[in-house]
């Protein structure tokens, strides 16, 4: 089916407590390929009592999982990692089929996703506590780090594999069990991960994937006493909603939310090099990336040369089906995303932006949006204020660094920022003043297991990856061992 080398990786049932499960009322939802609307498969609409039962089973599974040594858990995680890499081609194809991104990018996502499992298999062995010099006579003071409990992982469609492994690997390594609620558009990558977790010997109930109505499932996960952590990646809008719901049981919440990344080229930057970097930072995953350069700021002296170079490079990008090896940009996820892209362009042009390039008549299908370059954007435009999440690049000129810092920080978001230039004093000044959780200088690539991924302001709470990733799924317990001198 769909030319998977191993057709058993296309699972059409939820995975709970080591079993493949249909909806108790027989209802399901079909999932289609955004490239051509072709049918991929169906997923069950689980019912509320099935979600509650899954939570209880995950809680029971924690007894054995947390009792294992960190080393034994690491062995299981590395088995899972091996299984994923052995099935890289099929997993990449599943991503391309359900998400639309190119096979090249999908393979990159599988490697990226697997790298978190390897990282946290190791990091779990180093989930250290500490000892403190005592302020109490004859006492020994120390802390241990305990698994927090059952963790609910709610994930988006733009990285259907890696946004799961980045959370799950940390949670599992530290001794939690997890329930994954994948995006409805991209459930098959999550279910394939469950199939491979099963083959890797993860015990029943440790890694679960539940599908169905997002609002119903999330409300149960957020309000259930037994779930102790909510880890969400998605829009700021839904993140706020989940935080409200999770407050009722005071859960630990980590939120990886939207971005509105500025890309700043310093006055000393070669316009063509800046254009090459900006194109790379803008169009990955067809612009449907929380790190995508959303607002491009170019010094007025090189503005026209930059626009010309950007348009020339953008024209070389090929839009098409992600399965075609020549494709650079796949389709957008659905019609709503295409409509939003069109409305962002209309709004900007009605407020004075210039359409430099991008002709939608060239789109190869109904879910495609051709890369578009808008010049002279302003803070009054939606393209400046909102996370675009589409291949529309908005560029504006600036005159001095003070002005560009004010413009770049003029957003509720604070995920990532890009600086390109040569003058180290100017770069350092910007690095300090930009209000973003991640600042990348002269590099489009910034993510990976060793770094603490996450935003400030309304881009989120907490960090994923790095040693800090364990914090989201563990809690510190303090021991005071007193009166130690007595009896000797
Ligand atoms: P989304 O609409 O917020 O959905 C994310 C998840 O929440 C999905 O599983 C979705 O389920 C669920 N959901 C949707 N509506 C819900 C509701 N009313 N109540 C409870 N759950 C609900 O986000 P998305 O469109 O999938 O993903 C794009 C967003 O993710 C962008 O804002 C992007 O910046 C962000 N993102 C952030 C990072 C990061 O690390 N900071 C990384 C990647 C993406 P259904 O799919 O079933 O609706």
Q: Which of 253, 290, 390, 464 is catalytic?
A: 290
Residue nearest to atom 18 of ligand 1 (CA): 215
**Domains in the chain, ordered, with CATH?**
7-257+455-477 (3.40.605.10), 261-441 (3.40.309.10)
With pLDDT > 70 as the criterion, what percentage of the chain qualifies? Answer: 99
Is the CB of residue 437 less than 8 Å from the CB of residue 284?
A: no
| Residue 231 banded pLDDT, cuts 50, 70, 90 | very high
Q: pLDDT value at position 426?
A: 98
Distance CA 289, CA 344 (A): 17
List of long-range contacts for 23-29, beta carbons under 8 Å, 24+ apart: 23/47, 23/50, 23/212, 24/49, 24/50, 29/184, 29/211, 29/212
Q: What length is written for the chain?
A: 488
Annotated catalytic residue 256? yes
Read off φ and ψ for residue 258, nearest 5 degrees.
-70, 165
**Distance of CA 224 from the midpoint of ligand 1 (Å):** 20
CA-proximal residue: ligand 1, atom 30 (nearest)? 234
Rounded CA separation 8/485 (Å): 63
Q: What share of the chain is helix, strand, coil (3-state, %, to 5)?
A: 45, 20, 35
Tokens of 415: 């995920």
CA-nearest residue for atom 35, ligand 1, is 234
pLDDT of residue 3: 85
Contact status, residue 111 vs residue 81, Cβ threshold 8 Å: no
Q: What is the pLDDT of residue 2?
A: 56
pTM for the full model?
0.97
Query: 109-156 pLDDT, tens per residue?
Result: 999 999 999 999 999 999 999 999 999 999 999 999 999 999 999 999
CA of residue 450 relative to chain centroid, distance: 15
Of all protein residues, the one whose alpha carbon is nearest to atom 46 of ligand 1 is 183
Q: What is the DSSP string of 422-472?
A: S-HHHHHHHHHH---SEEEES-S---STTS-B--SGGGEES-BSTGGGGGG
Segment 202-217 shows an average pLDDT of 98
32 vs 13: CA distance, rounded Å: 16
Question: Which ligand 1 atom sits closest to the C-alpha of 156?
Answer: 26
Which residue among 185, 234, 438 has the greatest number of ligand 1 atoms within 8 angstroms of its CB, and so is best to mutate?
A: 234
| CB-based pocket (< 6 A), ligand 1 | 154-159, 163, 181, 183-185, 214-215, 218, 233-235, 238, 241, 256-259, 290, 387, 389, 415, 455, 460
Instruction: Indicate the pLDDT class of residue 1, thresholds 50, 70 and 90.
Output: very low
């Amino acid at each position: 089916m769909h030319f998977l080398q191993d057709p058993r990786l296309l699972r059409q049932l939820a995975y709970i407590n080591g079993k493949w499960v249909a909806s108790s009322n027989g209802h399901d939802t079909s999932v289609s390929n955004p490239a051509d609307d072709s049918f991929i498969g169906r997923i069950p609409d689980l019912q509320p009592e099935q979600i509650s039962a899954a939570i209880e089973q995950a809680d029971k599974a924690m007894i054995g999982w947390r009792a294992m040594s960190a080393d034994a858990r690491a062995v299981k995680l590395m088995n899972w990692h091996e299984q994923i890499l052995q099935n890289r081609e099929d997993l990449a194809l599943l991503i391309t089929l359900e998400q639309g991104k190119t096979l090249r990018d999908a393979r990159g996502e599988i490697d990226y996703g697997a790298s978190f499992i390897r990282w946290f298999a190791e990091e779990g062995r180093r989930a250290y506590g500490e000892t403190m010099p005592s302020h109490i006579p004859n006492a020994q003071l120390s802390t241990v780090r305990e698994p927090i409990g059952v963790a609910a992982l709610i994930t988006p469609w733009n990285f259907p594999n890696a946004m799961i492994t980045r959370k799950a690997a940390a949670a599992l390594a530290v001794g939690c069990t997890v329930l994954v609620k994948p995006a409805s558009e991209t459930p098959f990558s999550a279910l394939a991960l469950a199939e491979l977790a099963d083959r890797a010997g993860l015990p029943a109930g440790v890694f679960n994937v539940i599908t169905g109505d997002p609002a119903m499932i999330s409300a149960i996960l957020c309000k259930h006493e037994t779930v102790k952590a909510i880890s969400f990646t998605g829009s700021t809008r839904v993140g706020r909603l989940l935080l409200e719901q999770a407050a009722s049981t005071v859960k630990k919440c980590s939120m990886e939310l939207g971005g509105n990344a500025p890309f700043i080229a310093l006055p000393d930057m070669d316009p063509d090099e800046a254009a090459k970097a900006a194109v790379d930072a803008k169009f990955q995953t067809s612009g449907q990336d929380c790190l995508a350069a959303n607002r491009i700021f170019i010094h007025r002296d090189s503005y026209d040369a930059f626009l010309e170079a950007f348009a020339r490079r953008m024209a070389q990008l090929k839009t098409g089906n992600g399965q075609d090896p020549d494709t650079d940009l796949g389709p957008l996820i659905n019609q709503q995303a295409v409509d939003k892209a069109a409305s962002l362009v209309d709004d900007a042009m009605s407020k004075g932006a210039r359409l430099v390039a991008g002709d939608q008549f060239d789109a190869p299908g109904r879910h495609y949006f051709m890369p578009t370059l808008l010049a002279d954007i302003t803070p009054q435009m939606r393209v400046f204020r909102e996370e675009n999440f589409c291949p529309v690049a908005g560029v504006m000129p600036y005159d001095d660094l003070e002005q560009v810092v004010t413009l770049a920080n003029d957003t509720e978001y604070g995920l990532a920022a890009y600086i390109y230039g040569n003058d180290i004093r100017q770069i350092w000044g910007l690095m300090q003043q930009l209000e973003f959780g991640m600042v990348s200088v002269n590099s489009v690539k910034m993510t990976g297991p060793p770094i603490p991924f996450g935003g400030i302001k309304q881009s989120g709470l907490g960090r994923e990856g790095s040693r800090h990733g364990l914090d989201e799924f563990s809690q510190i317990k303090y021991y005071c061992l007193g009166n130690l001198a007595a009896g000797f």
